[in-house]
Structure 1
């Protein structure tokens, strides 16, 4: 006896809808990934253009996390969010989100770019292995707006992670990433903006 499956209208439309959703998600992820890649590359070019001494640090690093925009807003309770890419040897290997929450006397909004430079294999391995890496005091903060220059001096060589913060805009003073949690995300989860 031959068992024939009957294709009903309902199963036909369900299969078609599933295919359409899969195709749309694939396209959105590709577009969001390409958009983020373009922003990451533009952010690095902005960094090199404004602060030429940053180039050798980035190029000689074990890896670099580029966050093109971290948006922070607060009115008593605050939060920040951004998405970026981890590059090793100049190639993207993972995507990350950055999130931070805060409570206290604060009001306003700002945006800024930042780059985390991993100068040792151990620092990069710890970052990649962590389910959620939190920026802390172990990082050296090179903030051009505060008059610091990027360079391969003793300070940057002696710190496994160098955080470069630049391009700040907004009405809140003092961009900082301490306490920011970085979490790996899959490309299809990238926000499309």
Structure 2
């Protein structure tokens, strides 16, 4: 019994330890060219898979892209990753981390990408002035799946943020952004 309890507690602790790594790979202080390149490639993958997201990108005030979010769990689960916020002209507006924990019937591991289209200045301001943004609190977020992303129209957009989860690899179900905390950081 204790062996299983230790295993259940070890998974989230391992994730926290890995996600809190302070190793810097940037060549210039305050930048992370490797993360930027991954984020741009992940966004391009989304646009090529769901071309209507390009219109959404043109209307957005900013796009926050997390190219590699890792989610693992066995009863208790955790997910985390780093991302980049891009302005409409493609310049970097900042770097962010996304973290979440979960509890329930779950087992496995998975990586995925997430892109959040911030449609209003108030959504950007809330993210940058709050002590981290807990998704589900603050601006309204609509999660768009791949099928809806291919058929959506930009004339009916009314939410502050549209989130796309795509590029899933691995064996785990139950993706979502509810309860995810996004915080700004400096590389």
Give me the TM-score of the superposition, normalised by structure 2.
Answer: 0.79
Larger radius of gyration: 1
Aligned-residue CA RMSD (Å): 2.1
Gaps of 5+ in 2: 1-21
Q: 3-state DSSP class of the match of 1:174?
A: coil
Checking the alignment, whether the CA contact within 8 Å between 2:123 and 2:161 is kept in structure 1 is yes
Counterpart Cα distance in 2 of 1:28 and 1:50: 30
Q: Please say if 1:76 is aligned against 2:75.
A: yes
Pick which of 25-34 and 164-173 moved more: 25-34
Structure 1 residue 26: deviation in Å?
10
Checking the alignment, whether the CA contact within 8 Å between 2:87 and 2:93 is kept in structure 1 is yes
Checking the alignment, whether the CA contact within 8 Å between 1:112 and 1:165 is kept in structure 2 is yes
**Cross-structure match for 1:119:** 119
- How many residues align structurally? 160
CA separation of 1:80 and 1:60: change in aligned 2, threshold 3 A: same
Deviations 1:12-69 (A, max 9, x none): xxxxxxxxxxxxx997332881110110110111011111000110122011100001
Gaps of 5+ in 1: 1-24, 188-193
Counterpart Cα distance in 1 of 2:24 and 2:39: 20
**Cross-structure match for 1:4:** none
Runs of 4+ more than 4 Å apart: none
Q: Please say if 1:30 is aligned against 2:27.
A: yes
Checking the alignment, whether the CA contact within 8 Å between 2:55 and 2:154 is kept in structure 1 is no
Counterpart Cα distance in 1 of 2:37 and 2:123: 26
Checking the alignment, whether the CA contact within 8 Å between 1:112 and 1:175 is kept in structure 2 is no
Checking the alignment, whether the CA contact within 8 Å between 1:70 and 1:80 is kept in structure 2 is yes
Give me the TM-score of the superposition, normalised by structure 1.
Answer: 0.76
Structure 1 residue 136: deviation in Å?
1.5
Counterpart Cα distance in 2 of 1:27 and 1:123: 29
Counterpart Cα distance in 2 of 1:168 and 1:27: 26
